[in-house]
Amino acid sequence: MKRVVVLISGRGSNLMALHQRLCMVARAETGIAEIVAVISNRPEAAGLHWAQAQGIEARWLDHRDFESRQAYDEALAQVVRDFQPDLVVLAGFMRVLTKGFVQSFSGRLINIHPSLLPAFPGLQTHQRALEAGVCVHGATVHFVNEQLDGGPIIAQAFVPVLQSDEAQSLADRVLHAEHRLLPQVVLDFCHGLVALDPLGRLHRSPEATRLLFPPTSGVA
């Protein structure tokens, strides 16, 4: 059973989707992975309370209590290490991680980002997509490296941009795609279908998910 630690900063909707999918897989077959801890940089994060209600270990480490990013990340890394994770998932964790933290979990640290990287790294991705006039938007799961929203892309989910879209309506549909994408990538990782080698190169089995399209397209 692979041990997964999830880092969040807010309500944790991707965390909830991941937990639901892992529970479904465990009921249908031998469990492949479990979320052993949820950690947040914000003690008020709603996702922490949800995790506790599910019987998942929930911890918080407030970044505002530390004098520097490095000091915070060193403390955070130790908390994460205590749970002996096979995989660390950044699911709406709104912190830019230091080189030391990234290197501590190299090859087992993934992030979900609300755009089709390398387009629109950073914040306000949906508004920027609309302003750019793109026809397709979406979400990306990638291995984390020292570059902001960088690292090898594992899989992406496509979402069409509608003429009637505003930032919120587009964000809502992208979030739905994230809820499909992240659990699938976690399962692929835990089955050994995707991996990062010591040189930072992605290795992907032909059976691994690369692209997800909207369900109405009939393509999975």
User: Residue 172 and residue 168: Cα distance in Å, rounded?
Assistant: 6
As averages over each run of 10 residues, the pLDDT of the chain (220 residues) reads 98 98 88 96 98 98 97 98 99 97 97 98 98 98 96 98 98 98 98 94 96 67
Q: Which residue has the tokens 């970044």?
A: 63
- Geometric angle at alpha carbon 203, from 205 and 24, rounded to 5°: 50
User: Residue 186 and residue 156: Cα distance in Å, rounded?
Assistant: 13
DSSP code, position 161: P
Domain ranges of the chain: 2-217
Catalytic pick from 19, 49, 63, 113?
A: 113
**Are 188 and 167 in contact, with CB atoms under 8 Å apart?**
no
Residue 113 catalytic? Answer: yes
- The CATH class of the 2-217 domain is alpha beta
